[in-house]
Chains A and B, each alone.
Chain A
Amino acid sequence: EAQVTQNPRYLITVTGKKLTVTCSQNMNHEYMSWYRQDPGLGLRQIYYSMNVEVTDKGDVPEGYKVSRKEKRNFPLILESPSPNQTSLYFCASSLGGFNTEAFFGQGTRLTVV
């Protein structure tokens, strides 16, 4: 089954404790991206990647890091999480650019206390 898989689905952590949210897709897609979803703000792009070793900032990159060492994986790293990073996070992939259908994961609900 074609899918984007995120782990974990739920995470509660403390301020300053480094964490990684994993994202993997099995569709051989070139493009991958991370979004955060907050009430009243919709989905905002954090980082995106056009291919292996090629990444760029989205609209809200502060406090986040990404890497793309393999085509299928695109982890999101929070080196020193803060409470304002409490949010619902989605990973997405698409075959061509972002002007083609994006496939989203199930989401990761992160709480930073």
Chain B
Amino acid sequence: QQQVKQSPQSLIVQKGGISIINCAYENTAFDYFPWYQQFPGKGPALLIAIRPDVSEKKEGRFTISFNKSAKQFSLHIMDSQPGDSATYFCAGAGSYQLTFGKGTKLSVIP
């Protein structure tokens, strides 16, 4: 079973700080690396995603850094806000497969 390994399992960050979540994948057939954000009682929703032909993608305060040779990618949340408190899932995907990491529970404290 192809895995996506995600760390840390939980993260506490002060308001205004930088949150960093890391993921590593095994399946070199993955061609899409999304991050999903999930609030309690809700389904996951796409936050940001990257294809392996680029090394970085930025959308507002959220940035994905991608290292193809190391098979690693990470999510950086700049100026973290209490409203960012949620569970974040990284994933690797191909046409017929979407494999998630185990999730990181982020708490941003005022």
Residues of A within 8 A of B (CB): 4, 33, 35, 40-45, 48, 50, 56, 59, 90, 92, 96-102, 104-107
Q: Does B97 contact A (CB under 8 A)?
A: yes
Which of B60-68, B74-82, B100-108 forms part of the interface with chain A? B100-108
Could you tell me how many residues of chain B have their Cβ less than 8 Å away from some Cβ of chain A?
27
Do A99 and B102 touch (CB < 8 A)?
no
In the bound complex, CA of A36 to CA of B49 (Å): 22
Residues of chain A with a CB closer than 8 A to B43's CB: 4, 90, 92, 104-107
Residues in B lying within 8 Å of A, measured CB to CB: 1, 6, 9, 30-32, 34, 36, 41-46, 49, 89, 93-103
Known contacts A40-B102, A42-B102, A59-B1: does B89 contact A98 (CB below 8 Å)?
no
Q: Which of B9, B30, B45, B89 contacts A43 (CB 8 A)?
A: B89
CB-based contact B89/A102 at 8 Å: no
Q: Which 7 residue pairs spanning A and B have beta carbons closest together? A: A104-B43, A97-B95, A99-B32, A42-B102, A98-B98, A43-B100, A99-B93
Closest chain-B Cβ to A3's Cβ sits at a distance in Å of 10
